Structure 1
Amino acid sequence: MPMLEGKVAIVTGAGGGIGREIALAMALAGAKVVVNDIGASLTGLGEGSATPGEQTKAIIEQRGGQAVTNTDSVADWESARRIVASAIDAFGRVDIVVNNAGILRDQIFHKMTPEEWRAVIDVHLNGSFYVSRAAAEPFRAQGSGAFVHMTSTSGLVGNFGQANYAAAKLGVVALSKSIALDMQRFGVRSNCIAPFAWSRMTSSIPAETPEQQARVEKLKRMTPEKNAPLAVFLASDAAADVTGQVFAARNNEIFLMSQPRPLRSAHRGEGWTPELIAEHAMPALRAQFLPLDRSADVFSWDPV
């Protein structure tokens, strides 16, 4: 029996790229799929279009699956509730939510505008909350459900010019962990994937210097469908004991990512003054300081 037979999945941002590949893979695994996509530009600006979502739906149906489209925005509470309602209206239930919808408004921090900040937070972080919160009600009632949230190494590790995106994506990790803790007693699981792929979301990466060009060439070898098997597994009953975790998928590699924990401590029974911190605490802790890494620094080897 296919791993998702009898289940209903919502995949946001499923009109292309990673979202489309996850929607297609979940349909092939037996799920009925709500293909959500507003059909806007990478920045979220301009007129929306139902075409990207309809194209994903058509592929699913050509392969013998079932799907419906939805063009509501994740970035609005009532709109997000309509996304979940569309699954119940079409298929009678919802079992899986993949929070994949995203936009980019890259800008160096000291030039970033409040509008650029809010737009990205609204889609990635608020959108993940809105859709998850809407689905939490049927999940709780039926005693089961799986959330798969897309995070990013831009938030987990760091990157230039993406304060808005990085903050949102690290916030998604904390949101996922909170969902996992709060809803475990209802049989609901929540995990994150940091995907690596050449898609619309990465096509804006600069490729001006030889170093940047080399990085882009590596990314182009990592196609979006490489992330789909992990998403299908995490959504399936085979992952019944997997929750609150953060994974990364990079071509043929799967990583379990660390979560913040104490590295080292310094103790002084009489307490600390700023001077004593400078003299004793910082020298004791400094060996464990983390460098100002970017994702490309940590994942520096060629994908295989």
Structure 2
Amino acid sequence: MVPFRISPIRLVATLVLAAVVLAAASYLQSQDSGASKQERIVPDTVPAKPFSAIATRQTPLYTVEFRSADQLTQQDRLVLADAESSIAEHAGFAGLEYQQNNWSYRQIVCPTFPNHLFLQYTRNNGAGDMSVFSASIPRNGEGRVRIVPILKRGYSLFSPAPINALTISAFNHIRAEEGEAANSDWLGNALCYAALAGSQPQILPHDSEPAVHKPIPALTAAMYVETQAHGTQVIRFADAAAHMHAMEWSMTFTHQGKLTEATHKPASMRTAIPASQQSAVTQTWQVPTSGQN
């Protein structure tokens, strides 16, 4: 019998081919395994920033409280006394004629900013001749006195305060001075901004009863926060207590908590619908019930 022999060249080719087949099979198996592993990975939910939709609110009120000068606490009176020269200086720079003596003030109470004392100064010289500005004073000494010009003798300074870049800049500095606590209540931020810009904002719950000299609840139905795809949040609400008719406010915040845009326009009855019917990019929340953010 003639012995069976394989040529060395054929043997090498066979071994190379087998190695290629095994390598290919191993590669495909690893790809399938990697794909299956990748499909099982579920990314963590990214929380809404800078504001949470589920945090507990510090106050159930849908308004910003205003208190008369004689209601200031003794501690706040001392804070104001230390800041009076700075307020006069800043008001003078803005041309607000603060050196005249017929100015009065009241406190703007914003629970979202406990480390700041907010005041609204008014000088009323009769119909059409009113000057108004807001002042922010840090209670803990960490920050600086700031003012927000609103009216000078009946006219807006620069541009209307609600949309003014100076108002937005002052609010951003206030938030930065307040620290992380300023992010605890998105509704409180919106209402406080409106108050510092010259309004006395009020949101009526949907079940409120209309009464004489009070706005009807239908004008305040829209209040929601949009978390957009590129990481910004938009807070909108309809201010029921605005003069003449309801006004719609809109404020855009970056993911880092910086206010970049604010708008202020008459609210339309046709658009003042429940938030659940609004079209949102990612998420929408209605006006919260008492005890929720």
Higher helix share: 1
TM range (shorter): under 0.3
| Structure-1-length-normalised TM-score | 0.24
| Structure-2-length-normalised TM-score | 0.25
